[in-house]
Structure 1
Amino acid sequence: MAKFRFCFFCVSCILLSSVLGQGPEDAFAPEGVGRREMVPAMFIFGDSLIDNGNNNDLPSFAKANYYPYGIDFNGGPTGRFSNGYTMVDEIAELLGLPLIPAYSEASSNQMLHGVNYASAAAGILDITGRNFVGRIPFNQQIRNFENTLDQLTDSLGAVDVAQAIARCIFFVGMGSNDYLNNYLMPNYPTRNQYNGQQYADLLIKQYTQQLTRLYNLGARKVVLAGLGIMGCIPSILAQSANGRCSDEVNQLILPFNANMKTMINNLNTNFPGLHIVYIDIHNMFQDILTNHRSYGFSVINQGCCGIGRNRGQITCLPFQTPCPNRNRFVFWDAFHPTEAVNIIMGRKAFNGDTSAVYPINIQQLANI
């Protein structure tokens, strides 16, 4: 598989719905559902960190529907790039929701709890990830969400759906592949066309247009995840002569995160009724790496499953035997965190303080 396959963040939308005509905001819930859910549905957009099977049937090299992926997941391999839960699985549980089905598999009834549109190797730019052949870029994920809205509207009515959408949380986290599976790939011309700041500007311009589309579809509560410390993943560490994090890669993504914060301020100011919060993945991951022992981790520089230096030169192969002490590892494979890290980050995003999520957390946003 290609050298720079890593996807750090995802996009999800948490769509409010409920039961038996208690108001327009309750339009989506199936009959008989209890009221334990903080929000009745979650719609997820993103990349391999939260893909739960949308790439399974694609002609794609970016797949995880084989053992030992899912070794700690009830039901085994599903297409999740993890030994178990992803970050949005943890967030779904904290919201009182069932795990959200993949768009490629969701039944009409399951859609009432939400849909996962995420796709490994996907990016903000359509061209990103082409080395893996099949993938579903963010633009197409938005179109798939429109198809879901059309189905909901056909069954529930336009007025109820429109008013319910206004109570959605859209969790959006794209961009990692636009660096690791585009800008840093030798067979892409991007690096010769743009310096780091110019490329960040290009991505944010496109990202702004995509988020505007979601706003025009009714999104009013949005969670955006920044990029993490990608220069410290096993795949990058394996290419280092001294086994250290790549300062070049870590510095490269900083303008994107800075641009995101400016974009969020602009959108919050200029779009009536819009509430965007920012998940600082960079700070979260820095904290985990720096204070790993306090979190229970002992291995921060290699994958639990993989081959070669740092177990990051070749990613987790079918039926490879992974490490037995998976909860002690920060990284599951050459590119992705373990379930243990995903759960920590999901909880910080859900109810953390402003060092992790700003200006409010997902729990507070859901209660607005």
Structure 2
Amino acid sequence: MGCKLEVLTLKIDCFLYLLAIGMLSGGGPLVMAQNPDGVVDAFPAGGGMVPAMFIFGDSLIDNGNNNDLNSFAKANYFPYGIDFNGGPTGRFSNGYTMVDEIAQLLGLPLIPPYSQASNSRDQMLHGVNFASAAAGILDITGRNFVDRLPFNQQIKNFENALDQITDNLGAVDVAQVLSRSLFFVGMGSNDYLNNYLMPNYPTRNQYNSQQFADLLVKEYTTQLSKLYNLGARKFVLAGIGLMGCIPNMVARGTTGRCDEDVNQLVLPFNENMRTMINSLSTNLPGSKFVYINVDNMFRDLLANARSYGFRIVNRGCCGIGRNRGQVTCLPFQTPCRNRKEYVFWDAFHPTEAVNVLMGKKAFSGTPQFVYPINIQQLANI
């Protein structure tokens, strides 16, 4: 056991060494600053509030990792990215995702996908996005889409990134760099959408809603603990939103309204997440956890849509069928023109306008939306 720990420590130390060296060689004059622990950090002038952000999740925050997979879950075609500088990238949005906005607010550049960054260590300097559309906490989730990168595989990819970066370096202890970076995780939605609610999966017959939530969070706890053992200390965890209100779920009914049964179905998972966060905070020394209450954010958004500038709350800007949600946005389909007035971009995902709004609330919002502190406060610890 001792040998394994030494290897792991060596791996983390080497990774952090390169991360620090990369920051030193990133160009521009350096700013030396002493943090509250007395450790001197070096960043290029105008650097971010944190050294880096590492992102794990699904299509809500995937930015291109599925592009080269043998997968049906892709968004690397027009009109996806119609409002993004550079066009389609693999983001399941017309523009920014929530983590794009959070990165900007932290003073970081947009975080590259692992599929791109793994080819160049220089691109990993401010973090890596490992998220994959159709991915879930459970490995079997999303298999209808063929290839995808479940959370367990995303963690392995993070380990591979450490291996790649440390191949030719000696061990230098700069662990403060990684310990001050943010680890953003948004998982769970597909475990319902593309597992529990799918007729070709057995899980709905095997578990009631509470049992399934317990299963998910038990596995989630193990996975987050792995990230902790790899050096993560500052975690930002996003809960599941009002899944019954996405256009695809609305389209399955005939009233044009949210499916409240589905909204109730995912509540035990969100409740379990709060319990899990309290437990992990106690059992993992030095860890800090922030919970983004996406459910509350969407309830507030739908209740006050007009005041936020939204007019259309129950159908997609781009899609086919009832509520533009029965078939999601197809290649070269013409989307709505007034995209800033839509809550949903396609059958499953929010518009850039909503992603930016939610990113801002997560960054500097009140405990109603982000608990027990917000991302800005976490970054400053």
TM-score (norm: length of structure 1): 0.92
Of 151, 155, 158, the match for 1:138: 151
Confirm or deny: 8 A CA contact 1:25 1:160 kept in the other structure.
Answer: no
Cα separation, 1, equivalents of 2:374 and 2:163: 30
Equivalent position of 2:48 in the other structure: 37
* Unaligned stretches of 5+ residues in structure 1: 1-14
- Alpha-carbon RMSD across the aligned residues, in angstroms, is 1.7
Q: 1:198 to 1:25 in 2, by over 3 A?
A: farther
Equivalent position of 2:24 in the other structure: 19
Deviations 1:199-238 (A, max 9, x none): 0000000000000101111111111111100000000000
Confirm or deny: 8 A CA contact 1:278 1:358 kept in the other structure.
Answer: yes
Cα shift at 1:161: 4.8
After superposition, residues 54-203 of structure 1 pair within 5 angstroms as 54-106=65-117, 107-154=120-167, 157-203=170-216
Cα shift at 1:36: 3.2
Cα shift at 1:151: 3.0
Confirm or deny: 8 A CA contact 2:93 2:351 kept in the other structure.
Answer: yes
After superposition, residues 197-216 of structure 1 pair within 5 angstroms as 197-216=210-229
Cα shift at 1:174: 0.3
After superposition, residues 242-281 of structure 1 pair within 5 angstroms as 242-281=255-294
Deviations 1:156-178 (A, max 9, x none): 65443533222121111100000
Cα shift at 1:34: 2.1
Say which SS state the counterpart of residue 115 (structure 2) adopts: coil
1:196 maps to amino acid:
S
Pick 1 or 2: higher relative contact order, CA cutoff 8 A, min separation 6: 1
Say which SS state the counterpart of residue 160 (structure 1) adopts: coil
Cα separation, 1, equivalents of 2:46 and 2:169: 19
Say which SS state the counterpart of residue 215 (structure 1) adopts: helix
Equivalent position of 1:222 in the other structure: 235
Confirm or deny: 8 A CA contact 1:227 1:257 kept in the other structure.
Answer: yes
Cα separation, 1, equivalents of 2:93 and 2:66: 14
Equivalent position of 1:294 in the other structure: 307
Instruction: Report the count of equivalent residues.
Output: 350
Cα separation, 1, equivalents of 2:298 and 2:340: 16
Of 337, 361, 380, the match for 1:324: 337
Confirm or deny: 8 A CA contact 2:185 2:235 kept in the other structure.
Answer: yes
1:184 maps to amino acid:
L
Cα separation, 2, equivalents of 1:38 and 1:87: 17
Structure whose CA Rg is larger: 2
Cα separation, 1, equivalents of 2:171 and 2:345: 43
Confirm or deny: 8 A CA contact 1:222 1:276 kept in the other structure.
Answer: yes
Cα separation, 1, equivalents of 2:51 and 2:229: 21
Cα separation, 2, equivalents of 1:327 and 1:156: 48
* 1:342 has 2:355 as partner: yes
Deviations 1:246-301 (A, max 9, x none): 11100000000000000100111111111111110000011011100000000001
Q: 1:367 to 1:154 in 2, by over 3 A?
A: farther
Cα shift at 1:155: 5.7
Confirm or deny: 8 A CA contact 1:224 1:278 kept in the other structure.
Answer: yes
Cα separation, 2, equivalents of 1:157 and 1:35: 29
Q: 1:25 to 1:168 in 2, by over 3 A?
A: farther
Please identify, of 34-43 and 147-156, the stretch whose mean Cα deviation from structure 2 is larger.
147-156
Confirm or deny: 8 A CA contact 2:364 2:376 kept in the other structure.
Answer: yes
Cα separation, 2, equivalents of 1:54 and 1:160: 31
Q: 1:156 to 1:277 in 2, by over 3 A?
A: farther
Confirm or deny: 8 A CA contact 1:25 1:167 kept in the other structure.
Answer: no
